[in-house]
Amino acid sequence: MLQFLYAQASSERLAEAVGFAHWAAGSAPPGSALHVLPLYVRVERYRRGAGPGSALDLHWVAEDAIREADRAHDAWFARAPAEERTPLDLNHLAHALWGALRFEGATEVFDALGPYYTPLPWSYRADAGGERGQGAQVFLQARARSRSATHGP
């Protein structure tokens, strides 16, 4: 559904995607990956709006972004069996928690991910004009920062 709304390429359709993601997450049972949908939409809103080079960190410390990240962690990650968590969903959640400065939760998700990295959403944090592989560097830095904040140097 999100892909359909994204394909329409208008700000009105993106607003519909936001509404759909919140509706789906709000009506999903505990442990459902639908709780992660608002994080996907938030990343897409950043990509279409400001894009690389703008203040993505400020994008994630907004009150609603923090609430979405916490809700996805508590309603999905904390309740879903490990074998039902996909690397893409885990990467989006780790990215959101790290961006929202929720380092303890981010560390839990990074630990669940192990060495598995997906280019999205991390590549959106790479320098404008940078190579797609720079997303892996951002991932490694985020994981190290989260672990350091949680466990100390």
CA distance 9 to 3: 10
**pLDDT tens-digit profile of 40-63?**
988 888 777 655 555 556 677 889
DSSP 8-state secondary structure symbol assigned to residue 29: P
Structural domains counted in the chain:
1
Full domain range(s) for residue 11: 2-151
pTM, 2 dp: 0.88
> What is the pLDDT at residue 139?
94
CA distance 19 to 123: 25
Which tokens in the block code for residue 114? 């192990």
CA distance 121 to 93: 10
| Per-residue pLDDT of the chain in tens (153 residues, 90 and over written 9) | 666 656 655 566 677 888 888 999 999 999 999 999 999 988 888 777 655 555 556 677 889 999 999 999 999 999 999 999 999 999 999 999 999 999 999 999 999 999 899 998 998 877 654 556 788 999 999 999 999 999 876
